[in-house]
Amino acid sequence: MAWFKRELKGIITTTEEKKEAPDGIWNKCPNCKKPLHYSEQVENQYVCHYCGYHLRIGSKEYFSVLFDNNEFTELFADLTSGDPLHFEDTKKYTDRLTETQFKTGLKDAIRAGVGKIDGQDLVIACMDFNFIGGSMGSVVGEKIARSIDHSIANKIPFLMISKSGGARMMEAAFSLMQMAKTSAKLALLSQAKVPYISLLTDPTTGGVTASYAMLGDINIAEPGALIGFAGPRVIKETIKKDLPKGFQTAEFVQEHGFLDFIVDRREMKEKLASFLKMMAN
Ligand SMILES: [Zn+2]
């Protein structure tokens, strides 16, 4: 017999009412499951100090890690997506956009800024995975294109930080066109002899991998990042073969010649600054 009996069923405290651990102060490392305090994460550039796992972060955090004193001018901040196809799945695309904008405080899955890293000018365009899976729609493509124009006009090197599930299905072909558009713009950047560094972070997949993410003068990735084009199940069913273990990790991709370097986020700024210096000479 039990010592006491619960008479009422289904007593549930809503998450907002659980006060012991204020929301967002403690986080569990997704890899080693150890608790990480928010201030420790910031101090350690959002890398788990137990196991070195690189937490997924957004443009706000990357800008703070890379730009000197977190000072930069945001570019093309007001671009937002239209709904050319009047797309609707479980909800209307326009509603999904408004909701996501409200929830994330972002206008779309990318932000661009110009500032200095270690005293050298740099344009950075950085994707945000929180915004519909970092999907590449027309706003992402357009912001990248305009950032490249800004780089060419001012002779400032361009850094692209990719983090994406691929093309945005709600924009269908308009989304796929961004692959050609960004690639063509990068060709112009190259003709103008302005350096382009591509940084692939966890995850970089689909049409993003198949276009601008792999076109850097230098392609670098963060350790352990998932990098691929199609998902493993699709590939397995297509080629009818088992896939090697870890075949879509940054380490595997580097071994097979698609990446130049894997750089720990805690050394990222220093490495990028030295690449920029090298390419400026
Ligand atoms: Zn960890």
- Is 29 marked as a binding-site residue? yes
For the segment 183-190, the average pLDDT, to the nearest whole number, is 98
**62 touches 161 (CB < 8 A):** yes
Quote the ligand 1 centre to 264 CA distance (angstroms): 14
Quote the ligand 1 centre to 49 CA distance (angstroms): 7
Q: Is the pLDDT of residue 224 over 90?
A: yes
Domain definitions of the chain by residue range: 23-55, 56-280
What confidence tier does 281 reach under pLDDT thresholds 50, 70, 90? confident
- Is 32 marked as a binding-site residue? yes
For the segment 56-75, the average pLDDT, to the nearest whole number, is 97
Quote the ligand 1 centre to 223 CA distance (angstroms): 13
Quote the ligand 1 centre to 265 CA distance (angstroms): 14
Beta carbons within 10 angstroms of residue 149's beta carbon: 16
Quote the ligand 1 centre to 34 CA distance (angstroms): 6
Q: Is the pLDDT of residue 204 over 80?
A: yes
Quote the ligand 1 centre to 30 CA distance (angstroms): 7
- Is 51 marked as a binding-site residue? yes
Q: Is the pLDDT of residue 229 over 80?
A: yes
> What is the four-CA torsion angle of 131, 134, 139, 140, rounded to 10 degrees?
150
Give the residues across from 72 on adjacent strands.
115
**194 touches 158 (CB < 8 A):** yes
Beta carbons within 10 angstroms of residue 247's beta carbon: 13
What confidence tier does 14 reach under pLDDT thresholds 50, 70, 90? low
The 3-state DSSP class for residue 167 equals strand
Quote the ligand 1 centre to 11 CA distance (angstroms): 33
Lowest mean pLDDT among 12-16, 73-77, 240-244: 12-16
Give burial (CB, 10 Å; 0-12/13-18/19+) of 225.
Answer: buried
Q: Is the pLDDT of residue 9 over 80?
A: no
The chain-wide mean pLDDT, for the chain, equals 93
For the segment 39-45, the average pLDDT, to the nearest whole number, is 92
Quote the ligand 1 centre to 266 CA distance (angstroms): 15
The 3-state DSSP class for residue 149 equals helix
**161 touches 201 (CB < 8 A):** yes
Residue 5 gets the label, from left (phi > 0), alpha (psi -120 to 50) or beta, of beta
Give the residues across from 111 on adjacent strands.
126
CATH of 56-280, one of 3.30.460.10, 3.30.565.10, 3.90.226.10, 1.20.1250.20: 3.90.226.10
Residue with tokens 């073969």: 241
pLDDT of residue 245: 87
What confidence tier does 136 reach under pLDDT thresholds 50, 70, 90? very high
For the segment 6-33, the average pLDDT, to the nearest whole number, is 70
Q: Is the pLDDT of residue 165 over 70?
A: yes
What confidence tier does 137 reach under pLDDT thresholds 50, 70, 90? very high
